[in-house]
Chain A
Amino acid sequence: MRFVSFFVDGKSLAVPEVLKPPDVSAVPVSFHKLQVLDTPDFSEVSPFSAELQASLSGKLLLFEELPYSIDVIHEHYLNGCLAYEKGIEEAGGSFVCKRCGNDKPRLFSSFSCFRCKEKECVYCRKCLVMGRVSQCTPLVRWCGAELEWKLDEVALTWTGELSAAQRKASDGLVSRVGGKGELLIWAVCGAGKTEVLFYGLERALKTGQRVCLATPRTDVVLELLPRLRKVFPGITLAGLYGGSEEKLDGAQLVVSTTHQLFRYRDAFDLVVVDEVDAFPYSYDSSLEHAVHQAKKKDALIVYLSATPGRKMKKRAVAGGLPHVKIPLRFHGFPLPVPRFVWCGNWKKRLKKGRLPGNVMNWVEHQLEVKRQGFLFVPSVVALHQIVALLQAVFPGIEGVHAEDPERKEKVMKFRKGEISILVTTTILERGVTVPFTDVAVFGAEEDIFTESALVQIAGRAGRSKDDPAGEVVFFHYGKTSAMVDAKRHIEGMNREAGL
Chain B
Amino acid sequence: MNYCLYCDEGFYETVSWSFVLGIAGEMHFCEGCSSSLERIEGEICEICGRSFSLFPEQYRQENRCNDCIHWEEDVNWRGVLVKNRSLYVYNDFLKELISRLKYRGDAELVMGFRQEFRKIYQHEFKGFVVVPVPLSQERHYERGFNQTQLLAELLGVEVEHALERVLHEKKQSKKSRQERLEMKETIFELANNSKLVYGKSVVLVDDVYTTGATLRQASRVLKEGGALQVSSMTLGR
- B-contacting residues of A (Cβ < 8 Å)? 106-107, 109-115, 121, 123, 125, 128-129, 132, 134
Contact between B108 and A112, CB atoms less than 8 A apart: no
Contacts of B52 in A (CB 8 A): none
Complex contacts, B145 vs chain A, CB 8 Å: 111-114
In the complex, the chain A residue whose C-beta lies closest to that of B107 is: A111
Q: Are B144 and A114 in contact (CB under 8 A)?
A: yes
Q: Name B104's contact: one of A106, A107, A111, A129 (CB within 8 Å).
A: A129
Contact pattern, B 132-156, Cβ under 8 Å of A = 1, otherwise 0: 0000000011011110001000000
CA distance A110 to B105 in the complex (A): 10
How distant is the Cα of A132 from the Cα of B104 in the complex, in angstroms? 6
- List chain B residues, Cβ under 8 A from A115: 141, 144
Kindly state whether residue B96 has any CB partner on chain A within 8 Å.
no
Are B3 and A106 neighbours in the complex by a CB distance under 8 Å?
Answer: yes
Question: What are 29 of the A-B contact pairs (CB < 8 Å)?
Answer: A106-B3, A109-B107, A110-B107, A111-B105, A111-B107, A111-B144, A111-B150, A112-B145, A114-B140, A114-B141, A114-B143, A114-B144, A114-B146, A115-B141, A115-B144, A121-B144, A123-B105, A123-B107, A125-B106, A128-B104, A128-B105, A128-B106, A129-B104, A132-B104, A132-B105, A132-B106, A132-B144, A134-B105, A134-B144
Which residues does chain A contribute within 8 Å of B106, judged by CB atoms? 109, 125, 128, 132
Asked if A107 and B8 sit within 8 Å, CB to CB, the answer is: yes
A121 to B105, CA, bound (A): 12
Chain B contributes a number of interface residues (CB within 8 A of A) equal to 15
Say whether chain A's binding surface is mostly helix, strand, loop, or mixed: mixed
Query: Is B100 close to A, CB under 8 A?
Result: yes
Q: A106: which B residues are within 8 A, CB to CB?
A: 3
Residue of B nearest to A108 (CB): B108
Least distance between B165 CB and chain A CB atoms (Å):
13
User: Do residues B100 and A128 form an inter-chain contact, with CB atoms below 8 A?
Assistant: yes
Contact with A along B190-230 (1 / 0, CB 8 A): 00000000000000000000000000000000000000000
Expressed in whole angstroms, the minimum distance between the Cβ of B132 and any Cβ of chain A is 13
Further 11 A-B residue pairs, CB within 8 A, beyond A110-B107, A111-B105: A107-B8, A109-B108, A112-B145, A114-B141, A114-B143, A114-B145, A123-B105, A123-B107, A125-B108, A132-B105, A134-B105
B191 → chain A, closest Cβ, in Å? 15
Determine the residue in chain A with the shortest Cβ distance to B100.
A128
Contact A113–B144 (Cβ < 8 Å)? yes
Query: How far does the Cβ of A18 sit from chain B's closest Cβ, in whole Å?
Result: 10
- Which residues of chain B (81-121) have a CB below 8 Å from chain A? 100, 104-108
Mark contacts of B1-20 with chain A using CB atoms, 8 A cut-off: 1 yes-contact digit, 0 otherwise: 00100001000000000000
Q: Which of A106, A114, A121, A134 has the most CB of B within 10 A?
A: A114
A113 — which chain B residues lie within 8 A by C-beta? 144-145
Residue of A nearest to B147 (CB): A111
Nearest opposing residue in chain B for A128, CB measure:
B104
CB-nearest residue of chain B relative to A115? B144
Segment 140-195 of B: residues with Cβ below 8 Å from A = 140-141, 143-146, 150
B155 → chain A, closest Cβ, in Å? Answer: 16
Q: Once the chains are docked, how many angstroms separate the CA of A128 from the CA of B109?
A: 12
A128 to B105, CA, bound (A): 8
List the A side residues contacting B8 at CB < 8 Å. 107
Q: CA A134 – CA B143 in complex, angstroms?
A: 11
CA distance A111 to B106 in the complex (A): 9
Q: Which residue of B lies closest to A130 (CB)?
A: B104
Give the docked Cα–Cα distance between A115 and B3 (Å): 29
* Minimal beta-carbon separation of B115 from chain A (angstroms): 18
Q: Which residue of A lies closest to B146 (CB)?
A: A114
B150 contacts across to A, CB distance below 8 A:
111
Q: B residues within 8 A CB of A112?
A: 145
Could you tell me the distance between the alpha carbons of A298 and B143 in the complex, rounded to whole angstroms?
A: 39
**Chain B residue at minimal CB-CB distance from A107:** B8
On chain A, the residues within 8 Å of B104 by CB distance are 128-129, 132
In the bound assembly, the distance between CA atoms of A125 and B145 in angstroms comes to: 15
In the complex, A92→B135 CA distance in Å? Answer: 36
A106 to B3, CA, bound (A): 8
Considering the complex, give the chain A residue whose CB is closest to the CB of B105.
A132
Closest to A137 in B: B144
Q: Which of B143, B144, B145, B146 has the most CB of A within 10 A?
A: B144
Within 8 A of A (CB), among B1-51: 3, 8
Of A113, A125, A129, most buried by chain B (CB within 10 Å of CB) is A125
- Using Cβ atoms and an 8 Å threshold, which residues of chain A touch B3? 106
Distance, CA A386 to CA B3, complexed state (A): 31
| Closest A residue, CB atoms, query B135 | A114
How far is the CB of A127 from the nearest CB of chain B, in Å? Answer: 10
Q: Which 4 pairs of residues, A with B, have the shortest CB-CB distance?
A: A109-B108, A111-B107, A132-B105, A128-B104
Q: In the docked arrangement, what's the CA distance between A115 and B144, Å? A: 5
Q: How far apart sit A128 and B104, CA to CA, in the bound complex (Å)?
A: 6
**A3: shortest Cβ distance to chain B, in Å?**
15
- Kindly list chain A residues whose C-beta atoms are within 8 Å of the C-beta of B100: 128
> How many angstroms between the C-alpha atoms of A123 and B143 in the bound complex?
12
Nearest-CB residue, chain A, relative to B2: A106
A125 to nearest B CB, angstroms? Answer: 6
Task: Give the complex CA separation of A107 and B3 in angstroms.
Answer: 10
State how many angstroms separate the Cβ of A93 from the closest Cβ of chain B: 18
Query: In the complex, what residue of chain B is closest to A134 when comparing beta carbons?
Result: B144
- Which residues does chain A contribute within 8 Å of B146, judged by CB atoms? 114
Residues of chain B within 8 A of A134, CB atoms compared = 105, 144
